Structure 1
Amino acid sequence: MKNIFNSYQIKSWIKSSALALTLSFAFSCQDALQEDVISQIGNDYLNTASGFQDGVNAAYTSLRSWYGTERGNNFTEFGTDIYTNGADGSWKFMNTYTNQFDSQNGHVRELWDELYSGINTANAVIDRSANVTGVSEAIKKQRLAEVKFIRAHHYFLLVQLFGPVDLQLSENKVPNKKVTRAPVAAIYDAIVADLQAAIPDLEAVKASNQFGRVTRPTAQNLLAKVFITRATSEAAKPTDFASAEPLLKSVINDYGFRLLSSYSEVHQFGNERNDELIWSIQYTRDPLTNGGGNNSHVFFLMEYDVQAGMRRDTQNGRPFKRYRLTPYALNTVFADRVNDSRYKESFIDVYFSNRPGTFNTSFDLSKPTVTFALGDTAIYIPGFEMPLAERAKKKYQVLVPSRYDERLFPGLKKHLDPGRADLTQFEGGRSYPAMRLGETYLLLAESLLKQGKVAEATEAINMVRRRAAFPGKQAAMEITPAQMTMDFLMEERARELTGEQFRWLDLKRWGVLVERVKLHNAQAAPNIQPFHVLRPIPQNQIDRAEDGITAFPQNTGY
């Protein structure tokens, strides 16, 4: 299968009096890199066949502002019940909810600008499509459906994060300072309309032969999640949960997706294209065309590289020590490690020595020194409080929970990228899995449970749980309808989806963000307030509004 993102363009600008589009890649059916610099193009370029295609491609580029980035992870992993901050980084206030998290926040400003740039690109492609020549009507309809999906996707993020935002559904050809905050209901109506219009014109396939393109099941999956999210918002409609159900069942049944046979395969390096993947954001190994890259590989790792017998390498990753599991996540969410493989398959439990020699111990004081040959076990993280006498018998250091701190903790291995060029490279090249069937089953369980269809919801969640079982433990992993509650579903999504840019949005959707952070995140608990269910509007957006804060007021509390 060809990868549409394998043929990238060097980042360039289309500049005209009417349009500014960032082009970071071009779609192609070829696997070889084709670098084309597009610049100094007139205002009518978008009306040509090549300009139309480049405009669509530019809209796709804006997806990289969210998936696999530090800002996307900070917005979704920090300040939740399952992740708190590690030792390093300047964004800890996004976990602790201090007054540093304000309208001058760089992540807020960058994300806002990138998403609206993507929206205006989509608007330009849609508005000008009637004048495009040299493109078949079938392809034109498909590409317009793709950019409508992207526009809906961006507004869905914006409305969840910021509440009422400016709703622009036509191209801004010149700078526009006349903006208002549209009602949440109007934004959801526009999102639903875009996705419903897009679905019939998208490819009805599991994956496009140009890998990474939006397909019909991609849009169905997003629309179902929109309905489920709107159902708990101020714009809720009584049919929302019921509307999601057939869309999710279609994704599960109609395209050939399947849960992979073991959880260990889902995020396995080199298995980025698989039968469970519904949609992914593509990155590349070429430094000229990878932009900022997929950076998720650095944020979830502990400080292994200064420990006895270890040095940094590409296999074990570059440890930024940003996110570490809360005690609740370790002791409750991932409590079952006998039947459920997801703790074992999600977190690093062993490091093998890549620096032979004899060393003084540091965190494991059950022995004074350790000696390693190349490839020997250097660090073992059992996940339980191994007795001191037992640790003393080991020829390596044992990291037990009582010694976890902001530098030493079980690191998430889902995003490891040993394919990087060297041990310092930040710009990873793995594609980012934005949608996969495991989450689709959990969304289906949620929609069914909210409709009172408890037995069906139980079967949907058991599909995920049976797959997550260690061999021979499938029956032990099944739950009964009596156990099928929202509390159970909340923890099941944490087990299945930890570190995949969902958790903050999940907690906000369920209306339990403040409650669960106060209960389970000690660093965030003292400061989080009810107003933190929305993020601050960036100050530069308020400043550039024609009537300033009167026309575009700040969210309460900021």
Structure 2
Amino acid sequence: MKNLAITINYWAKSTALILGLSAMVSCDGFLEENVVSQIGNDYLNTPKGLNDGVNAAYSSMRAWYGSERGNNLTIFGTDIFTNGADGSWKFMNFYTNQFDSQNGHVREVWDEFYRGINTCNAVIDRAPNVTGLSEEVILQRVAEAKFIRAHHYFILVQLFGAVDLQLEETILPTNVVTRSSVSEVYAAIIQDLEEAIPNLEAKAKSDNYGRATRPAAEHLLGRVYITKATSEAGEATDYAKAEPLLQSVINNYGLILLPEFGDVHAFGNEINDEVIWSVQYTRDPLNNQQTNTTANPVFNEGNNAHVFFLMEYDVQPGMQRDTENGRPFKRYKSTDYTLNTIFADRVNDSRYKNTYVDHFLSNRPGEYNTTFDKSKETVTFAQGDTTIWLPGYNMSEAERAQYPYQVLTPELYTERLFPPMKKHMDPGRVDRTQFEGGRDYIAMRLADTYLLLAESQFRQGKIGDATESINAVRRRAAFPGKEAEMEISESDLTFEFITEERARELIGEQTRWLDLKRWGILVERVKAHNPQGAAGIQEFHNLRPIPQNQIDRAEGNAGAFPQNPGY
């Protein structure tokens, strides 16, 4: 398929920056992209233009899912991950005063999401005037735009609180902006999703894979209600409203929990029956870009989650960097709380085994001096021999000496050497240094639906129902034959158990910071379990700083668009 050279320019009220549009077209049942440039303002009024506009809005999801900014804003500064050795963003885990309104990640998320929102606004406003498409298709495209707009505002309101609420296309630059209340933002999100649900495809997978479907919107709206419930906009009925939406996702679309937990994120299995909706990437670096503006560079980075969770294996005896084991950024290191409490059960629960890499095989044969395991002076490897074993528990030096390879036990963990997480590993990259991963990012999956359902039921006092919802996830997570041992009783189900179960199941999937924030326990949990973040975190860190460039370009500056307290 040839790439077209087409671009549409729009002005976003809150960003006052040119939007670049990259168009995805259907090919073999998937959304695929062509680069779009140099076309006129009337293009969106055509059938192809409307489709391309919706597809361009989808591409703004890449500013969040699988990106460095999306991961840093949800993984760092939590109870289950702290910083590894490398990277210039450690201050986001430390909560130092470097994390301020000049932060590039918050600026990029803000700008990219508002560009995506304005594209959605244009699609929604112009769709009634488009001829040459069936009413059904037009309604579906508008529903998709409302799903994307609701998604973006949902992330923004969680990160920043009150934000600028724009529900109409902004064609000309303007600097008149205000911060709408959290209640107003949630009302707009809910209205968008309620209006979108009836017109989205009522199936687990769209005919053009990657498009939003009815179960995706129901899952999102269920999460919106559960999050809203503990916000300043919360209402007593929020949990009750979430429950039937989440039940519908589980019961009505043929989605299933895969029999093996390890298969959910297995490389090459990104399209599976547990996935509700994913953000698509490709192996073509040109088509992984999110925007093309004169003010900002192209974000041409692909799904980069594969680099952040890995340890420094590549300088150890018998090893060199390769595509299979990944490019180790050493960015995120699991906390002791994660390893010792969250994953305490490794006899019945398969999730520790299927979440972490526990051994490395030699790709650089030879004889070497040992590095971290001094129970032996040298080690010798043939191709494919075990070079490093991570048993997950401590043993004496004499015990380690019995093995012909280095044994990395918890007492030897450092910011460079620690259990690497394998959920996002991408051996399909073209070479061992490539940063731009090509795997789709699984943004919504059925296990999360079950856990959200359990939470909504628990909050309503439906303990028996909540217990069964959680047990569905736990039975799937069991080693074969251990299903009964994995089940909990009603007396076992506490709020703390729910927080830990979400960590076990969803670790590394860009949920934890948002969970801790909505539960109101971010500060206490970081202080309790993340030593690097404990000293710096304060209550005002429950919100991120408004980007300074947004305040500066607003008419009246901080007087009209005030910064969040503490920044």
Contact 2:50 2:127 in 1 (8 A): yes
Q: CA deviation at 1:35?
A: 7.1
- Counterpart in 1 of 2:435? 426
The whole-number CA distance in structure 2 between the counterparts of 1:125 and 1:134 is 15
For residue 517 of structure 2, what is the amino acid of its counterpart?
A: K
Could you tell me how far apart the structure 1 residues matched to 2:493 and 2:185 are? 32
Could you tell me which runs of 5 or more consecutive residues in structure 2 were left unpaired when the two chains were aligned: 290-300
Equivalent residue of 1:433, what SS? strand
Give how far 1:37 is off: 4.9
- Contact 1:8 1:25 (C-alpha < 8 Å) held by counterparts: no
Q: Which sections of structure 1, spanning at least 5 residues, go unmatched? A: 1-6
After superposition, residues 61-460 of structure 1 pair within 5 angstroms as 61-291=59-289, 292-460=301-469
Shift of 1:374: 0.1
Assess if the C-alpha contact under 8 Å between 1:11 and 1:24 holds in 2.
no
Q: Measured at CA, do residues 17 and 234 of structure 1 come closer, stay the same or move farther in structure 2, by a change above 3 Å?
A: closer
Indicate the residue corresponding to 2:8 in structure 1. 14
Residue in structure 2 matched with residue 516 of structure 1 by the alignment: 525
Task: Classify 1:33/1:144 alpha carbon distance in 2 versus 1 (closer, same or farther; 3 Å).
Answer: closer
Give the C-alpha shift of residue 11 in structure 1: 7.9
What is the alpha-carbon distance in structure 2 between the residues aligned to residue 47 and residue 365 of structure 1?
Answer: 69
Does structure 2 retain, via aligned residues, the 8 Å contact 1:333–1:495? yes
- Matched positions, count: 552
Matching residue's letter, 2:286 = L
* 8 Å contact kept, 2:21–2:37: no
Aligned partners of 2:11 and 2:170 also within 8 Å: no
What do the CA deviations read for 1:303-352 (whole angstroms, capped 9, x no partner)?
00000000000000000000000111111111111111100000000000
1:472 aligned to 2:481?
Answer: yes
Which piece of structure 1 moves more, 33-42 or 481-490?
33-42
Rate the CA distance shift 1:484–1:360 in 2: closer, same or farther, 3 A. same
How far does residue 286 in structure 1 lie from its aligned partner after superposition?
A: 1.3
The alignment partner of 1:15 has SS state of coil
Q: Under a length normalisation based on structure 2, what TM-score does the superposition of the two structures give? A: 0.95
CA distance in 2, matches of 1:552, 1:296: 33
1:46-61 equivalence runs, <5 A: 46-61=44-59
Q: 1:419-446 CA distances to partner (integer Å, 9 max, x unpaired)? A: 1101011000000000000100000000
Is the 2:24–2:31 Cα contact (8 Å) retained in structure 1?
no
Give me the whole-angstrom Cα distance separating, in 2, the residues matched to 1:316 and 1:37: 32
Residue type at the aligned position of 2:448: E
Note the alpha carbon deviations across 1:370-406, whole angstroms, 9 max, x for none: 0000000000000000221111010000000011010
How far apart, CA to CA, are the structure 1 residues paired with 2:401 and 2:337?
28
Counterpart Cα distance in 1 of 2:31 and 2:538: 49
Amino acid at match of 1:13: T
1:25, distance to aligned residue in structure 2 (A): 3.5
TM-score after normalising by structure 1: 0.97
In the TM superposition, residue 16 of structure 1 has moved relative to its aligned partner by 6.7
**How far apart, CA to CA, are the structure 2 residues paired with 1:160 and 1:331?**
30
Q: What CA distance in whole angstroms lies between the structure 1 residues aligned with 2:31 and 2:216?
A: 26
Change (3 A) 1:395 1:232: same
Q: Percent identity?
A: 67
Deviating beyond 6 angstroms after TM superposition, the runs of 4 or more aligned structure 1 residues are: 16-19, 31-35
Q: Render the CA deviation track for 1:182-207: whole Å, top value 9, x for unaligned.
A: 01000000000000000000000010
- Deviation, 1:38, is 3.3
Offset from partner CA, 1:239-275 (integer Å, 9 cap, x none):
1000000000000000000000011111111111111
Q: Distance in 2 between matches of 1:8 and 1:253?
A: 41
Q: Give the Cα separation in 2 of the matches to 1:255 and 1:28.
A: 23
How many angstroms apart in 1 are the aligned matches of 2:496 and 2:453? Answer: 16
| Residue 105 of structure 1: how far off its partner (Å) | 0.3
Q: What is the root-mean-square deviation of aligned Cα atoms in Å?
A: 1.5
Q: Matches of 2:446 and 2:505 in 1, distance apart?
A: 11
Q: Which amino acid aligns with 2:511?
A: F
- Structure 1 residues 169-226: Cα deviation after superposition (integer angstroms, max 9, x where no partner): 0011111211011010000000000000000000000101211110000000000000
Does the C-alpha gap of structure 1 residues 48 and 10 become closer, same or farther in structure 2, counting only changes over 3 Å?
Answer: closer
